[in-house]
Copies of this chain bind each other. A is one copy, B any other.
Amino acid sequence: MYKQDNRLAVRGTYIHAPKLGEIEVVESALIVVGAAGAVEQILLPDDPSFEANCRAAKDAGHYVQLRENQYLLPGLVDLHVHAPQWPQAGRALRVPLEQWLQQYTFPLEARYSDIEFAQCVYQSLVNTLLANGTTTALYFASIHLESSLLLAQICLESGQRALVGKVSMDNPEQCPDYYREQSTSAGLATTEAFICGVKSLPNNQLSMVRPVVTPRFIPSCTDEMLLGLGQIANQHDCHVQTHCSESEWEHQYVLDRFGKSDTECLADMGLANGKSVFAHANFVSDEDMTIIHEAAVGIAHCPMSNIYFANSVFPTRKALNTGINVGLGTDIAGGPSPSLLFNCQMATSMSRILESGVDPTLRDSVRGVADSRLTFQEAFWMATAGGGAALGENIGVFKPGYCFDAIVVDFNVEHSNIANWPELENADEQLEKIIYNANRQNIVRVWVNGQTVVDRASSR
């Protein structure tokens, strides 16, 4: 997918969330993208250079004009995807986390020593995520060096911005014999080899794909592994991802083993910094939230997965109020859906049910947690700008200097489920309708870094 010149000019109405809770709708704008794929300028029709820029882009053959009923949105940022679990997306949701791992997930992940199987699954997943508008994904791969590198390569070739982690897990008490690093030192060495391998992939000059240090979660790792990974992350200035206080079982396991919380442990091990993303964090304490905020760690909130495997709702409102950068994750396959727009809807819905509670035999004043609700505008911020902020990348907003990662949502495609009555609503409400009813077929075009990676517009 790599090309040297990503220049582009897109004219149409865009909607984004430059600040938490604020939606900005800009009609008939012209977004001018430079050769390196970043936004150079955003012009309005009354700008004296507007028409000249349109003409220049037309003459150069890189002008795109959106149609009526089409909106330009920032590309979606998925902060938590287990790539090898894609074949089981949407099944086996009935068992608790620890059983789900041992009975379903570890046996499946162990198959990725088979590079052909990996090729088939990973290409299917990356295509699916791109088609659903996910322009950036933070992936857990498996423990295998070769197939994890293959995932990075597939992302690069498919044009998806990606952060990919080879999973580290070496604790014989928690990991089965058939799916565990050969030794702690071998595991650490493989992680370093993975980091170097991703950085030296052909055509990765722009670092479109980055390596991520990825201890699965504390129970899977020995102390030595965690400390070693912290050092590697520091030496290579790498992103870090792991699960943090996801379920009551897992949270209690760490308290029992270390006498402190996941967050405190991860901070001690050098795994909590501005390039870290913790998935879930449902059971963190107020003190943990302060640590997370002060260390500038991002949180991947996975609302669907929480229903099945965290058995509670992450107090997102509280985390946002603390100032933490919270983004959204599909958590395939703990979460069943590859759609981040769907998870955006569910983040809103789950925050409402956290606020109102669930048990109708209790009075409303006691059954929920007051002041927990998120607006759809805030959920959309998390799915775009919030995810970008959690990763420390210039993505998720239309702004000069930010990468042009974007999707076109079309209300008028043949199989749309969006009830389209534009004369009855404003653009904010149209965004609400996108979040609630847009399907994959409504996303007709996707750009990453100025490059077209999905284009259905021409096939209609």
Contacts from A to B (Cβ < 8 Å): 86-94, 108, 124-125, 128, 131-132, 248, 282-283, 304, 307-308, 310-315, 336-339, 345, 348-350, 352-354, 356-361, 363-364, 367-369, 375-376, 415, 417-419, 421, 424-425, 429, 432-433, 435-437, 439-441
Contacts and interface: CB of A to CB of B under 8 A. Distances in A.
Contacts of A363: 248
B94 A360 contact: no
A364 B309 CA distance: 12
Contacts of A307: 349, 352-353, 356
B352 A358 contact: no
A17 B382 CA distance: 39
A424 B120 CA distance: 14
Counting chain B CB atoms within 10 Å of each CB, which of A363, A421, A425, A439 scores highest?
Answer: A421
A110 to B, nearest CB: 13
A391 to B, nearest CB: 24
Given A415-B441, A439-B439, A248 B364 contact: yes
A87 B437 CA distance: 12
Given A337-B436, A353-B353, A364 B311 contact: yes
A432 B87 contact: no
A142 to B, nearest CB: 16
A124 B416 CA distance: 11
A336 B346 CA distance: 12
Given A90-B437, A337-B437, A432-B93, A283 B360 contact: yes
Contacts of A419: 86-90, 124-125, 128
Contacts of A132: 417
A35 B364 CA distance: 54
Nearest to A431: B91
Nearest to A283: B360
A336 B437 contact: yes
A90 to B, nearest CB: 3
A189 B360 CA distance: 38
A52 B292 CA distance: 70
Contact of A436 (B314, B336, B360): B336
